[in-house]
Amino acid sequence: MKSEPLRKRCYFETERLKVKNWEIKQEKSELAINVIKLLTPKVTKTLPTSWKGVDNVEKALNWIDERNKESSVFSINLNTNLKLIGFLFLTENDTKVLSEVRLGYLISEFFWGERFGTELIMGFVEWCKNDSYIKILYGGVERNNIASIKILEKNGFIRYNNLTAQNTIFYKKII
């Protein structure tokens, strides 16, 4: 049996990234401003409608509350200056024997192409290997998001039963 919820026990660093539970303790309006900067039209293009058009503090505060209700959210920061460059979203499904975790992430368009996605998922997989409770990871990817598909495949995820929902392809990794 795990001792703490995922949002409290997950923390890891990679060569360039620091990933930790997002700090809601900070001034919420400061976090809201960062959310607005991250959720650009390019970043949210393939995401659900409720993730689009977050262009003011009130919408961002609502977005933050909704994400907190549905998953554990982690900030992705650069190690060098702690600049926020994205979010990792984890939803844990407990069973009696193991834990399955659905993951999603987004990275600021200003950091695309710098292999931060690959580094993030690699670091998370390594963290999971040391967490005695997590046994299976799932990720869904929009079928045209070739970069994210490659990131999952590079990190050992396999297409899961060829299932698709609308435009989403599902991947699975056994830890």
> Is the per-residue pLDDT at 51 higher than 80?
yes
Q: Tally the C-alpha atoms within 13 A of residue 47's C-alpha that lie toward its C-beta.
A: 16
- Classify residue 61: in a domain, yes or no: yes
- Classify residue 88: in a domain, yes or no: yes
Give the CATH number, domain containing residue 103: 3.40.630.30
Residue 131: give the domain boundaries. 6-174
> What is the distance between the alpha carbons of residues 134 and 123, in angstroms, rounded to a whole number?
14
- Classify residue 80: in a domain, yes or no: yes
Largest CA distance in the chain: 43
- The reported pLDDT for the residue numbered 24 is 65
- Classify residue 65: in a domain, yes or no: yes
Terminal alpha carbon distance of the chain? 17
> What is the distance between the alpha carbons of residues 126 and 37, in angstroms, rounded to a whole number?
29
Taken as a whole, the chain contains a residue count of: 175
- Classify residue 150: in a domain, yes or no: yes
- Classify residue 67: in a domain, yes or no: yes
Q: CB neighbours of 163 closer than 8 A, spacing ≥ 6? A: 169, 170
Express each pLDDT in 85-139 by its tens digit.
Answer: 999 999 988 665 568 999 999 999 999 999 999 999 999 999 999 998 899 999 9
SS3 117: helix
Q: CB neighbours of 166 closer than 8 A, spacing ≥ 6? A: none
> What is the distance between the alpha carbons of residues 37 and 108, in angstroms, rounded to a whole number?
8
Q: CB neighbours of 59 closer than 8 A, spacing ≥ 6? A: 53
- Classify residue 1: in a domain, yes or no: no
> What is the distance between the alpha carbons of residues 2 and 29, in angstroms, rounded to a whole number?
33
| 24 vs 173, residue with greater confidence | 173
Residue 12 tokens read as 């890891």
- Classify residue 164: in a domain, yes or no: yes
Domains contained in the chain, number: 1
> Is the per-residue pLDDT at 2 higher than 70?
no
